[in-house]
Amino acid sequence: MKKNYLLTPGPTPVPAEVLLSMAHPIIHHRTPEYEEIFAQVKKGLISIFQTQQEVLVLSSSGTGAMEAAVINLLSAGDTALVINGGKFGKRWADICQAYQVNTEMITVEWGQAVDPQTVADALKANPHIKAVFTTHSETSTGVLHDIKTIAGIVAAYPQTVLVVDAITALGATAVPMDDWGLDVVVTGSQKALMMPPGLACIALSEKAWKLTETSQLPKYYLNLKKEKKTQAKNQTAYTPAISLVIALRESLAMIEREGLENVHRRHQLLAEATRAAVQALGLELLAPESPSPALTAVKSPAGIEVSALRGILSKKYGVTIAGGQDHLKGKIFRIAHLGYMGTFDTIIAISALEMALKELGHPLELGTGVKAAQEILTDL
């Protein structure tokens, strides 16, 4: 017997109640029964997005919703400002470039948060910037960017919208779309929503919806105006991933029962415990100054191969954590505390990490990290 523990920042573990809800006999989507389910899903999403806007559900992964944001707001030749501080920040630029949207780039060192002042400077220098694309919680680095401050800056530009990839952030931390004045918020199902991948969600402010009236980029499957019209009637333009929508109703109900603030606090404490633990083990955080509540990126100590570490964790202990991506591959590992995770998921992560590091010859006293985590998690 080997029990498996998925401690990655997406996909994340799915509660058995949610998994089993997908076994509900398939129903037709053009029925009142489905519309009732979809209405409940929308209600749940609206409360997590903290918005009065319609939250649209797309049958795609989060990247599909990111692309939807670009192609529904902009036209070829428009200029976008992209905050690129990791793999997913860069993805905004890749999408823009695929559609001949000019991109100005604020390049941020991986592990650092963007300085909002650089956004202010860029907007001041180029009044043609139509959209600012950014990441809230950057999954590749474990950084949480200061979206609230950035939103305040962008708000001063009536012709510019702020588009936020909140795929890893939403549900792990507050993303009060309307309060902060975010124009587009995107998420995916396989993160804090405690779902399998396959659905993405997107909400637009009035300012963003106005841009959809002038956008010339071609689109069909990801046409948000069409979806808005259809989803207002609890339908979707094309056949939705029915089982995943049914599952989403279940996971949203779980979030509602826990209470959104409690969900955020749980993520916050798990994150603090994880950071305290790895630091107690003498390890260095990649993003000590602006850490995400969704995941913790840790620099691999000298002499420890990340692949060997992840191999022991996975093969011997059944614990799956993430490695680094792109140029951080082999240099960091990433431990998630995201979605359906609680005190003992973090204890498992840290204790397995200790045992694997020790086996690889890294000097540490077993239990040191666990103790540091426990001291924080008694408050959860």
Q: How far is the CB of 198 from its own copies (least distance, A)?
A: 3
Answer yes or no: are the C-beta atoms of 146 and 115 closer than 8 Å.
no
Q: Is 14 in the site for its own copies (CB under 8 A)?
A: yes
Q: Is 240 in the site for its own copies (CB under 8 A)?
A: yes
Q: Is 98 in the site for its own copies (CB under 8 A)?
A: yes
Q: Is 332 in the site for its own copies (CB under 8 A)?
A: no
Member of 82, 222, 270, 328 binding its own copies (CB under 8 A): 222
Q: Is 23 in the site for its own copies (CB under 8 A)?
A: yes
Stretch that binds its own copies, among 22-30, 111-119, 300-308, 371-379 (CB under 8 A): 22-30
Stretch that binds its own copies, among 11-19, 145-153, 170-178, 354-362 (CB under 8 A): 11-19
Q: Is 219 in the site for its own copies (CB under 8 A)?
A: yes
Q: Which of 5, 20, 167, 3 is nearest to 87 (CA)?
A: 167
Member of 82, 95, 204, 270 binding its own copies (CB under 8 A): 95
Interatomic CA distance for residues 236 and 18, integer angstroms: 22
**Number of helices and strands in the chain (H, E):** 14, 15
Annotate each residue in 249-268 with x if it binds its own copies (CB under 8 A) or - if it does not, as one string.
--------------------
Decide whether 217 or 364 has the Cβ nearer to its own copies. Answer: 217
Going by the DSSP 8-state scheme, the letter that residue 341 receives in this structure is -
Going by the DSSP 8-state scheme, the letter that residue 92 receives in this structure is H
* Residues 34-73, interacting with its own copies (CB under 8 A): 59-64, 67, 71
Q: Is 100 in the site for its own copies (CB under 8 A)?
A: yes
C-beta contacts of 216-223 below 8 A and 24+ residues apart: 216/75, 216/76, 217/70, 217/71, 217/72, 217/74, 217/75, 217/76, 217/99, 217/101, 218/71, 219/68, 219/71, 219/72, 221/60, 222/58, 222/60, 222/64, 222/65, 222/67, 222/68, 222/71, 222/72, 223/72
Decide whether 219 or 331 has the Cβ nearer to its own copies. Answer: 219
Stretch that binds its own copies, among 79-87, 112-120, 173-181, 191-199 (CB under 8 A): 191-199
Interatomic CA distance for residues 369 and 280, integer angstroms: 5
Member of 2, 158, 218, 379 binding its own copies (CB under 8 A): 218
Q: Is 156 in the site for its own copies (CB under 8 A)?
A: no
Q: Give the side-chain half-sphere CA count within 13 A for 207.
A: 19
Burial of residue 104 (number of CB atoms within 10 Å: 0-12, 13-18, 19+) = middle
Total residues in contact with its own copies, by rule CB under 8 A: 54
- Interface residues with its own copies (CB under 8 A) are 4, 6, 8, 10-14, 16, 19-20, 22-29, 31, 59-64, 67, 71, 76, 94-95, 98-100, 188, 190, 196-198, 217-223, 238-244, 320
